[in-house]
Every structure is written in C-alpha cells, then in structure tokens.
Copies of this chain bind each other. A is one copy, B any other.
Amino acid sequence: MNASNTQIQMRKGLLEFCILHIIARGEIYASDMIEELTDAKMIIVEGTLYPLLNRLKNASLVSYKWVESESGPPRKYYSITEEGSRFLETLNETWDSLVNSTQLITSKK
C-alpha cells in the first residue's frame, strides 16, 4: 500500500468524468485529450484512455468521426451526444456530493 497506488485509485472514475467534460467542450481527438489532462496534472496513458473512449462510445455517450490528418494517420474526433450531456449532468451532481461528503469527514475533529 503506497501513495502512488492510492493516487491511482482516487483518480479512478474521475477520469471518465473529466474526459466527458473535455469532449463536451468540442470535437477533440485522443492525443489532445491526453495533453489537456496532463497540463492539469491529471496523468493518463494511452492504455487507459482508448478503452475508456470505447466504453463511452459503446454506451452512446459520445460519438466520433474519422478526420484525415495532414501529417500522419487519420484521427478519431470525438463529440458528446445528447445522452452523454444528460449523463454528464448527473456526474456533476455525483462529484459535488462526493466532495461534500469527503469535506465533511476530513474536516471533522
């Protein structure tokens, strides 16, 4: 039991939330998502992101279209669906509630 594993465990589930938020802002492809998350100090690797995006897509929360790149292989540009937007709203509530609960517990003396 070490801090880095705990960090991983805490981040679990939050990734889905953050990625939905990023996609909700506009069309974007995987590598740029990783960059955004890394900039915000939320580290994520490809082996985590790609399966997650597939799960979101299979759940009809996001959709994608292929776009050819000027240099390199084509990219999958993701965008959020209506269902995804609704789901994101419930996630916002879940997150707020969770922060609130944790605040309650960790600030008590």
B3 touches A102 (CB 8 A): no
Determine how close the nearest CB of chain B comes to the CB of A54; give it in whole angstroms.
11
Q: Is the CB of A9 within 8 A of B16?
A: yes
Q: Return the chain B residue nearest A19 by Cβ.
A: B105
Per assembly, the copies of the chain total: 2
A106 to B12, CA, bound (A): 16
- Knowing A1-B59, A6-B13, A12-B13 are in contact, say whether A37-B105 is a contact too (CB < 8 A): yes
Given A3-B94, A7-B98, A10-B95, 14 additional A-B pairs, CB 8 A? A1-B55, A10-B13, A10-B94, A10-B98, A14-B102, A22-B105, A36-B105, A37-B105, A41-B97, A41-B101, A42-B98, A42-B105, A92-B106, A99-B99
